[in-house]
A and B are shown apart, each in its own frame.
Chain A
Amino acid sequence: MIQYIIRRFLYAIPLLFGVNVLTFVLFFIVNSPDDMARMQLGQKHVTEQAVENWKKQRGYDLPLLWNEQQRGFDKVKQTIFFQKSINLFTFEFGISDSGRNIGADIKQRMWPSLAIALPSLLVGLLVNITVALMMVLFRNSYLEFSSIVLCVILMSISSLFYIIGGQFVIGKLLKLVPISGYDDGLAAIKFLILPVIISVVAGIGSSARWYRTLFLEEVNKDYVRTARAKGLTETQTLFKHVLQNALIPILTGVVVVLPLLFMGSLILESFFSIPGLGSYTIDAINRQDFAIVRSMVFLGSVLYIVGLLLTDISYTIVDPRVRLS
């Protein structure tokens, strides 16, 4: 297995390099270093001298990908791409174009994102599996039918509606939780209740239906019939046998997102004023802060690769028949 993991990491290097090049090219097709300088320097009294000065100080006065004026390896080295991207491979994100340390910002903002994402994932998983199992338990009844209708309705509603509606009903009308905000430590709980509830409710429709399909595939298999024939109750059959066997596809979906959890949710964090990473990349794009954009894209790619690897490993744990080679 170790060989497999090492091989996967080695595959990741050209992949990450490609992502980096693509991000770089896409960003600089839209923005030139001059644009970035003007964005940072503001709208008033900006002279060419000030723009040149900013570019020089930030290292954006070099050619983008190829420096014709240099010799040998310096033709590649003395470029914006090399200077700004190579350190990413050692996870040194450097300083943003507005002057903040990106690594420190990520470290600070990942915890609030995790504070929403983790409970949302766990509670959501629990609720979705329970609802799906209940639907399977009452299959071919009015309860299953009405649950499916409800799920379709729930998944058809925009997540923005859940957020605004939730804030209006629970925060404004019933006044049971703060409408938005955040605090450190245990004081954060009262701020997390509403976003977690909304996140879970917004996800029930699609996830419960998906899990129901997985469980239905299992309940008609022979081993389930055998279990029933042995005299197990329906709940014992479902929770002990069906659930365990349907876990592989569920795990595929869950483990792959685990490393990405701390990247946060843009809309949820924005509406609930959670100081997470959700809006970090979007804000950076709006501010034309290339340093943050490249760091976040790189980090996202690394985490996605890690997520896929973890999924593969988790298969071997859940299903002993699977071997990584």
Chain B
Amino acid sequence: MCLMLMGCDDLQLNNPYPHEEAGQSILYSSFTERPKHLDPAVSYSSNEYALIGQIYEPPLQYHYLKRPYVLEPLSAREMPGIRYFDADGNQLADNVESEKIAYTEYLINLLPDMNYQPHPVFAKDSQGKYLFHHLTDEQLDDISTLADFNATGSRQVIAEDFVYQIKRLVHPKIHSPIAELMKQHIVGLDDFSKVVAEKKLLDIRNETISGVEAINQNQYRIKIKGKYPQFKYWLAMPFFAPMPWEADVFYNQQGLIDKNITLDWYPVGSGPYMLTENNPNRRMILKKNPNYHAASYPSEGDPGDMEAGLLKDAGKMLPFIDKVVFILEKETIPYWNKFLQGYYDASGIASDSFDMAIQFSGQGAAELTPELKSKGIQLQTAVAASTYYMGFNMLDPIVGGDTERARKLRQAIAIAMDYEEYIAIFMNGRGMAAQGVLPPGIYGYQQGQAGINPYVYEWVNGYARRKPLSVAKQLMVEAGYADAIDPKTGEALILYFDTAASGPDDRSRLNWYRKQFEKLGIQLVIRATDYNRFQQKMRAGNAQIFMWGWNADYPDPENFFFLLYGGNSKVKYAGENAANYQNPEFDRLFEKMRNMDNGPERFQLIQQMQEIVRHDAPWLFGLHPKNFSLYHGWYQNLKPNLMANNRIKYTRINAKQRAELRKQWNRPVFWPLVVIALLLLGMLLPAFYSYQRRAKETLQ
């Protein structure tokens, strides 16, 4: 049988997918952890957005190709019309000072031809009554997944659906993470939340928000308190996607909840894809939405995009891929091996396979190893819009405060902490040492000499070089800690590092921190705890030094600088300013900068703020991680876009090429089985003879 199989060229015994899928335009991707929520009002993490970003369509989206990131209409017909008003309701000029603005109006015109995906929530009988809004026990008996419903329907997406979704954000049953934030910004949302606090979710439809209103089927208006230019970025997030009221009526039936058929698991969207199978313990399948509105691939991009072949599909109708299969793959080793066999179209690079995939050229540039190159695999790298920092608790009597002593101590530590080394040792070079609050790609970020942190780095031969340790030691002397001796105790200065990293894998990292402080003679005591206790310490201001990070919600400097704004202090106001930093000048500049549109004046303000923060050093700017992604040659139209959640619709799979290469790479090898069988036989023969001999022996 083995010999027969050996003669079969097409055989792919290790193919994990059904044979009939071989030539189809299907993207195979994976997830490591089941998503917590797929309700767009609740979902707020990248792994969830990888799914719902393809299903729900908020008014705006990020342009797929243009950089820096630009917003463009998605379910909106054009960019929202923005008008400013004073407290009396008089319209103000576009360039009026932000202090005079009482509220801003966003007028959003919708695409006229948008329809929801086919879904049982819309199914009606011949009399126009909803078929499944009041399910009987008999009907429920036959239903275990959404696919078991025998009818579906659809309807047009209307402005009221967008308004309804904003109402959902503040209903206590929904637990939207942005509810409190949006109450601060959207006119009337706070009052609305009080009105509906004791009401059922289904009743919110009949209540109104003074600041949110559907003007007609294709137009709605949102009023924002004062000026909040960042609101447009929120409009590109699934929180503001349309939600039909029928979905809540349908999914709030107890019989369906008992079967885990809820809106949190089965979305109802109008985007290019619809979720047709959701087994979060195994796989999730997206299929093309047959009701998707007309949308085309961008016809313009950045310089170089044309040459890179990224505009070959310009103007063609989206989406290109018919089906997307997300498979639960918890472990990196099987995932990596399946990627190499061609059964996954893309992969990240885990640290244990990094050397197999990447090598560094003489100039330090990352490139693929010859083995991967020979498979036609492409490498894409992009610095994430994230920042990881070591924070100093500014309320701490030793490292905190605005005194010269504390500031110089912080600056000395900042020089001693060699993040270039950290990136090389612990991240395989996948990161860049941070020079300030902003990561690359965010407005206000400066490259080169102008962008370095002059308190930690110096510019030498065209490169930023960390200042020598002698400078740090001199700062220690100036701070009153000569030879790192604490003058109060007469012994070595002891500092405390609070962390939630306490596993065996973290030990080497924590030792590294300790060694960096030892360079200055400082004894670093690691106070490792679990994440809950760590957060409690942070809320109470009991931590001294800590590591934390931030992933951008949107590509605006406000989304980073607010982490240092005094009004967001964690201890005082339970905000996101974990360092509890408060500098009146910084706060003043921040309040001015956040309401400005991008331009030279804003750019200048940002540089001033960077300078203040670099000087005060409430953070030791750590690093910005660099994402390394691998893609097979048949996966096309790929350009790193760290902001867009709906990238899949632009990409394309050359299914024919993939099928051929898979066959080539996965021919089974049988001869070792034959060898093993012969070996076993060889071992059994003496056993057989020994048994025969024993059987003939006389009983003792």
Contact = CB atoms under 8 A, between A and B. Distances in A.
Interface of A: 30-32, 35, 38, 40-42, 44-50, 53-54, 56-57, 95, 98-101, 103-105, 108-109, 112, 134, 137-138, 141, 143, 164, 167-168, 171-183, 187, 190-191, 228-229, 233-234, 270-273, 275-276, 279, 283, 287-288
A47 B178 CA distance: 10
Interface residues of B, number: 63
B22 to A, nearest CB: 14
Given A137-B691, A167-B337, A173-B669, A271 B331 contact: yes
Contacts of B18: 183, 187
29 contacts: A30-B530, A32-B532, A35-B535, A42-B44, A44-B44, A44-B553, A45-B180, A46-B177, A47-B180, A104-B259, A143-B690, A167-B333, A168-B337, A171-B14, A171-B337, A172-B340, A174-B668, A175-B341, A175-B667, A178-B16, A179-B338, A179-B341, A180-B335, A191-B16, A270-B331, A271-B330, A273-B328, A273-B329, A283-B34
A275 B668 contact: no
A238 B257 CA distance: 56
Given A41-B177, A101-B257, A175 B282 contact: no
Contacts of B265: 100
B279 A275 contact: yes
Interface in B288-347: 327-331, 333-335, 337-338, 340-341, 343
B532 A31 contact: yes
Interface string B574-586: 1010000000000
B690 A180 contact: no
B179 interface: yes
A89 B456 CA distance: 63
B328 A275 contact: yes
B699 A99 contact: no
A103 B258 CA distance: 8
B67 interface: no
A40 B338 CA distance: 32
B353 interface: no
B695 interface: yes
A175 B13 contact: yes
Contacts of B504: none
B533 to A, nearest CB: 9
B253 interface: no
B341 A172 contact: yes
B666 interface: yes
B327 A181 contact: yes
A56 B197 CA distance: 12
B173 interface: yes
Nearest to B180: A47
Interface in B1-39: 12-16, 18, 33-34, 36-37
Contacts of A191: 16
B99 to A, nearest CB: 26
B680 interface: no
B553 A57 contact: no
Interface in B577-625: none
Interface in B251-274: 257-260, 262, 264-265
B177 A42 contact: yes
Given A45-B181, A143-B690, A176-B668, A57 B175 contact: yes
